[in-house]
Amino acid sequence: MEQRNFYVIDTSSLIELNYRYPMDTFPTLWKKISALIKSGLLISHKEVYKEIEIMDDDLKKWASKQKNFFKEIDTNQLKIATQIINAYPSLIDPAKTSSADPFVIALTITLSNDPQKKIFSNGHLIVTEEKIRGNRIRIPYVCQTYNIKCIDIREMYKEEKWKF
């Protein structure tokens, strides 16, 4: 059986995907994204949806139709997200109505601890356009602590061996 990666995608990568590869221009890419979602290998968090729903574009329309893509928070994720926020308070912006970053990381940690997912997975990756820049606290910086690999959207295409 071929082992597959599980991806948890951040708001920044969904915005990048929509901006650089619009749905009406790159339908094949979006079909591949949909297939990953349908297989359960690409997920996101409900907090990411909250960040997208304030926009008024095709991404918001697309996101509103993704019923099983945006995962609800559970008590384990809340506990982990709280620990992350306590350790890295500058990861969130108190002025924003939603800060998905700690929840994206918490969801990935929860998946990483799921024995059923470990059996069938090469890894649990966060897909984000954020990069490590100095000591600025962003998703990749925090993920170093938890030994979680972060890749950008184009690296996900390579991981999946997609050709266009």
The overall pTM is greater than 0.85: yes
Q: What is the mean pLDDT of residues 115-124?
A: 59
Q: Is residue 19 part of a domain?
A: yes
Q: Is residue 62 part of a domain?
A: yes
Round to whole Å and give the CA distance between 131 and 152. 9
**How would residue 117 be classed by pLDDT, with cut points 50, 70 and 90?**
low
Q: Is residue 164 part of a domain?
A: no
Percent residues over pLDDT 70 in the chain: 92
One DSSP character per residue, 80-121 reads HHHHHHHH-GGGS-TTSS---HHHHHHHHHHHHT-HHHHHTE
Domain count, the chain: 1
What CATH number is associated with residue 133? Answer: 3.40.50.1010
Q: Is residue 99 part of a domain?
A: yes
Q: Is residue 67 part of a domain?
A: yes
pLDDT digits (tens, 9 = 90+) for 83-98: 999 999 999 887 776 7
Q: What is the pLDDT of residue 93?
A: 81
Q: What is the pLDDT of residue 2?
A: 64
pLDDT digits (tens, 9 = 90+) for 14-41: 999 999 999 999 999 999 999 999 999 9
Q: Is residue 101 part of a domain?
A: yes
pLDDT digits (tens, 9 = 90+) for 48-95: 999 999 988 999 999 999 989 999 999 999 999 999 999 999 998 877
Question: What angle, rounded to 10 degrees, do the helices at 101-112 and 139-146 form?
Answer: 30
Domain that holds residue 132: 4-159
Residue count (the chain): 164
Q: Is residue 91 part of a domain?
A: yes
Q: Is residue 54 part of a domain?
A: yes
Asked if 123 contacts 163 with a C-beta cutoff of 8 angstroms, the reply is: no
